[in-house]
Structure 1
Amino acid sequence: MTEKLFRIHAILFRRMELFASVTALAVGACVSSVQSAHAQWAVYDGAAHVQTVLIAARELQQIDNQITSLANQAQMLVNQAKNLALLPLSTLSTLQSTISQTTALLAQAQNIAYSVTSVEQQYQQSYTSVSSGMSDSALFSQAQTRWQNSVGGFEDALKMQARAVGNIPSDSSAMTQLVSASQSSSGALQAAQAGNQLLALQSRQLSDVVAVLSANGRAQDLDRAREAAAEAEGQAQYEHFAQHDAYVPGAVSVFNDGN
């Protein structure tokens, strides 16, 4: 019985020693942990940490600003490229061809060309050289030349009017294309080029108007000059007729006195 009690006390003592050892270790660990935590808390600098975070935030903001600036510069370059893009549509060759055709038609003016020298020469020969000393055949020849000039002038005017009217469909098509290109232009240069081509088209149309007015004026002036020359011709013919001696009546023998 005593031996059993001794064994029980030995077991309890051992358990108490084990519990004390564990408790000591736990307390030591806790104390060590608290001391370590206390040491770490004492070393940590909050202000420096905040300053570091602020510096990092500022650097991040600067990087973000640089990225935004680069993106804006890239967009600006894209916009500049659009503004410098050429207009893919050009009506210059068509306009030049039409003007060349109108100029060629003007150069085909009959009898009296659109030239100051030609007008002076022809006008002096056929319109201002009428005189009473000219023969009837010369007066008739000049009258016929003036009539041919007037008829040719009106024919030239009709041709020029037909040319101007014939240009209207092509002008309408070109104007539609240019307006559409201007409205759908990707940049300032394309819009400006479309506007310049529209101005060129208007200039070509104005040249047609000038050509038609010139042809009409030429025909009318030739006809008025013909009328003025006809009056001068009539006066010359009267003076030419008046130069002959007046008729003097004389005796006329109808039957022979011997019969």
Structure 2
Amino acid sequence: MMSRRHLSAMSALAITIADTASPVSAQLVVFDPNNYAQNVLTAARELQQINNQITSLHNQAQMLINQGKNLASLPYTSLQQLERSFQRTQQLLAQAQRMAYDINQIDRAFSTTYASVQASETDQALMANAQTRWRNSMAGLQDALRVQATVVGNLDGQRKEMSALVSSSQGATGALQASQAGNQLLGLQAQQLADLTAAVAAQGRAQNLEIAQRTAAQDQGREQLRRFLASARGYQPSTVRMFHQ
């Protein structure tokens, strides 16, 4: 057993070491599990909030990109081509020869040239009116052929425009581009309907002029026959020699 002298020496040494140790080295680090867990949860919540903010900013940026696409204009337009086609058709209709598409002019013609033959009209006036009506019919037929030729000539350009518009519509990046492509396709259809209307109108004008000419010619023929039969001299038969010996 250890002697009392040795125990006393060791106790004195321990007391000396305790007294000479610095205050800093004498402190002990204490680990608190509850506090650590709370700090971890707080950090996790803050990280989740940051992730949510990043996701929100990403969604907002994507929404702005989509809005920009929806507001982007269609890079292709067929407006000028459609306007040129309309103008060509309108010019042809405006260039209608002689009796054109004018209500007042038509009314004047049917009150004079195409009117019922009056007994007071001279033979020269009857012949002049007949010639005018014939010229009107020929002009109407020529105008109808010109309009039809123009309409047929527009078909190739319309085909190209339709192909370009359909391609633009299929490649549209937003609602505005798709809407603009659809509107231009409707404009192209309207231009085709305008060409068809012009062709039908020109053809109908030519047919009506021809019908009016035949009707007026029948009326004039009856009047000329009446004048021939009512003349004082009348018809006098005579011997005609067909061959000479």
Deviations 1:133-155 (A, max 9, x none): 21111111111111111111011
Question: Equivalents in 2 of 1:236, 1:48: separation in Å?
Answer: 126
Aligned residues: 220
Report 1:32-47 matches (<5 A).
Answer: 40-41=29-30, 44-47=31-34
The corresponding residue for 2:131 is: 144
| Alpha-carbon distance change, 248 to 176 in structure 1, aligned in 2, over 3 angstroms | closer
Deviations 1:212-253 (A, max 9, x none): 00000000000011111111111211232243236599xxxx
* Unmatched 5+ stretches in structure 1: 1-16, 250-259
Moved more, 233-242 or 97-106: 233-242
Question: Equivalents in 2 of 1:238, 1:246: separation in Å?
Answer: 14
Q: Is the 8 A contact 2:116 2:219 kept in 1?
A: no
1:212 pairs with one of 199, 216, 219: 199
Q: Is the 8 A contact 1:86 1:190 kept in 2?
A: yes
TM-score by length of 2: 0.82
1:112 aligns with 2:93: no
1:122 pairs with one of 103, 109, 117: 109
Report 1:171-190 matches (<5 A).
Answer: 171-190=158-177
1:100 aligns with 2:81: no
Q: In the TM superposition, what is the alpha-carbon distance from 1:195 to its structure 2 partner?
A: 1.1
Q: In the TM superposition, what is the alpha-carbon distance from 1:129 to its structure 2 partner?
A: 4.2
The corresponding residue for 1:65 is: 52
1:230 aligns with 2:189: no
Tell me the secondary structure at the aligned position of residue 133 of structure 1. coil
Question: Equivalents in 1 of 2:133, 2:56: separation in Å?
Answer: 80
| 4+ long deviations beyond 4 Å | 246-249
Q: In the TM superposition, what is the alpha-carbon distance from 1:90 to its structure 2 partner?
A: 1.1
Question: Equivalents in 2 of 1:218, 1:156: separation in Å?
Answer: 9
Tell me the secondary structure at the aligned position of residue 112 of structure 2. helix
Q: In the TM superposition, what is the alpha-carbon distance from 1:173 to its structure 2 partner?
A: 1.0
Question: Equivalents in 2 of 1:176, 1:128: separation in Å?
Answer: 52
Q: In the TM superposition, what is the alpha-carbon distance from 1:40 to its structure 2 partner?
A: 4.6
Q: Is the 8 A contact 2:116 2:216 kept in 1?
A: no
| Alpha-carbon distance change, 248 to 184 in structure 1, aligned in 2, over 3 angstroms | closer
2:72 pairs with one of 85, 109, 129: 85
Question: Equivalents in 1 of 2:165, 2:188: separation in Å?
Answer: 10
* Unmatched 5+ stretches in structure 2: 1-5, 237-245
Q: Is the 8 A contact 1:132 1:239 kept in 2?
A: no
The corresponding residue for 2:240 is: none
The corresponding residue for 2:243 is: none
Deviations 1:49-85 (A, max 9, x none): 3222212211111110110000010011011111111
The corresponding residue for 1:196 is: 183
Larger Rg over CA atoms: 1
| Alpha-carbon distance change, 68 to 200 in structure 1, aligned in 2, over 3 angstroms | same
The corresponding residue for 1:170 is: 157
Question: Equivalents in 2 of 1:148, 1:161: separation in Å?
Answer: 20
Q: In the TM superposition, what is the alpha-carbon distance from 1:190 to its structure 2 partner?
A: 1.0
Identity of aligned residues (%): 48
TM-score by length of 1: 0.77
